[in-house]
């Protein structure tokens, strides 16, 4: 009888350890994937405005800004869907992590250079956000992406 309780408790603990991180990871995948899908759709609906937002950073020529404005939103949408559907997962996760890192660096450089930039990530909804709010959101998303990368790596090592 005592042995059954120990075995049952051990099985329950093992189940809880495996389900809770998976559950939290799935929530993070849905939130981060949803953020990128939403941001991608907003940008895809008005690529010229997004090209103007990219151009405000004064890093790239206008022609490249326009090309990126037509390409990047769809890449964000596909990668966001990859996180949610867990298809092409590592590719989507890697691309979004790199894009977010590059965006944070570009935003910081623009701020240091004194440029008045509008992110354009969430359309009019984020237009009045402060620089601090933008960076806090971006760093939070980057932290979530890195955490998902680590979880996936640990999951791969344990299999």
Alpha-carbon distance 85 to 36, whole Å? 14
**Dihedral of alpha carbons 88, 90, 96, 102, sign:** negative
Neighbours of 101 (CB within 10 A): 14
> What residues have CB less than 8 Å from 129, skipping those under 6 apart?
119, 137
> What's the whole-model pTM score?
0.81
User: Is a pLDDT exceeding 90 seen at residue 38?
Assistant: yes
Q: Taking residues 44-60, what's their average pLDDT?
A: 93
- Judged on CB neighbours under 10 Å (0-12, 13-18, 19+), 121 is buried
Domain boundaries, the chain: 30-153
Phi, psi at residue 52, to the nearest 5°?
-65, -40
Rounded CA-CA distance 86/128 in Å is: 34
DSSP string across 137-156:
HHHHHHHHHHHHHHHHHHHH
Question: What number is the average pLDDT over the span 114-127?
Answer: 71
Choice between 97 and 2, residue whose per-residue pLDDT is larger:
97
């Amino acid at each position: 009888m005592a042995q059954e309780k120990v075995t049952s408790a051990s099985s329950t603990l093992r189940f809880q350890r495996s389900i809770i991180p998976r559950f939290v990871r799935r929530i993070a995948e849905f939130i981060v994937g949803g953020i990128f899908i939403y941001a991608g759709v907003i940008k895809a609906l008005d690529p010229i405005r997004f090209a103007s937002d990219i151009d405000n950073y004064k890093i790239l020529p206008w022609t490249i800004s326009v090309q990126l404005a037509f390409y990047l939103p769809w890449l964000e949408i596909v990668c966001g869907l990859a996180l949610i559907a867990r298809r092409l997962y590592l590719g989507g996760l890697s691309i979004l992590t790199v894009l977010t890192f590059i965006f944070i660096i570009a935003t910081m450089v623009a701020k240091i250079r004194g440029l008045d930039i509008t992110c354009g990530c969430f359309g009019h909804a984020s237009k009045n956000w402060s620089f601090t709010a933008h960076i806090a959101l971006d760093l939070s998303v980057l932290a979530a992406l890195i955490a998902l990368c680590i979880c996936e790596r640990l999951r791969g090592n344990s299999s």
